[in-house]
Amino acid sequence: MPAAAADTAPRFDRLDALRGAAIVWMAAFHFCFDLNHFGWIRQDFYGDPVWTWQRTAIVSLFLFCAGGGQALAVRAVQGAARFWRRWAQVAGCALLVSLSSWFMFPNSWISFGVLHGIAVMQVLLRLGLARLPDAALLGLAALAIAAPWLVQHPFFDTRWTNWLGLVTHKPITEDYVPVLPWLGVMLLGFVVTRMRPQLWVGPAPAPLAGLGRWSLSFYMVHQPVLIGGLMAVQVLR
């Protein structure tokens, strides 16, 4: 398929719907987090497995879908201009997340969260890893997932080096999605989709699919809306 045709390639509703489901789950999680932040509930979001495992599952869904989306883009011979335009949107939003989190959480601002991770991993995929065969990518995925448990060093504990993921302890930050082990999840989404693109062909819940197509926009506005709403309620009480 020529690059121009890739810009009009049909959407895969099932993949969009899976991303949409992740967004709904994320919004519910963040709503509970915000309730805790304002003191309306009392939960340990940093240590209670009820919350930490939910976060792991949500991030895994997002990165698996991101990998699947890249596989479909490569399959459709997506043009470089469109890739870099979309990448710039993700990277720009990552910068906005860092700046806004610095104002709200100056001691635990987000230096490398999920959008930062997606931006770096997308470049790794499109500029090299996507050319590897499936078996090699599966091996790399396993190695990426295992690496933080096999290799750790204090050098990677600073804000400027912890993006790789080989830290001796988790940094104090509101969101942390380093390249390792999370690249492994994106690679799995890429390989599964490249091997079985038909998994995403067929009917899917329209509301979730529609939401999944606007995932970045929703991600950027949902917390200001939730926090603003809770602040308004708090003032009016």
Q: What share of the chain is helix, strand, coil (3-state, %, to 5)?
A: 70, 0, 30
| Span 177-226, pLDDT tens digits | 999 999 999 999 999 999 999 999 999 999 999 999 999 999 999 999 99
Residue of 103 and 2 predicted with greater confidence: 103
d(CA 217, CA 214): 6
pLDDT at 142: 98
**Confidence check: pLDDT of 4 > 60:** no
Angle at CA of residue 11, ends 6 and 16, nearest 5° = 135
Distance CA 41, CA 78 (A): 46
Average model confidence (pLDDT) across the chain: 93
Task: Check: CB of residue 15 under 8 Å from CB of residue 200.
Answer: yes
User: What was the pLDDT predicted at 236?
Assistant: 83
| CA-wise closest residue to 46 among 58, 55, 34 | 55
Q: What are the tens digits of pLDDT across the range 12-60?
A: 999 999 999 999 999 999 999 999 999 999 999 999 999 999 999 999 9
pLDDT-above-70 percentage for the chain: 96
In which band, very low, low, confident or very high, does the pLDDT at 235 lie, cut at 50, 70 and 90? confident
3-state secondary structure of 197: helix
Residues 70 and 79: their CA atoms lie apart, in Å, by 12
How many angstroms separate the CA atoms of 32 and 36, rounded? 6
Q: Does 181 sit behind a cis peptide bond, omega within 30 degrees of 0 on the bond before it?
A: yes
Alpha-carbon gap, residue 118 to 18, rounded angstroms = 17
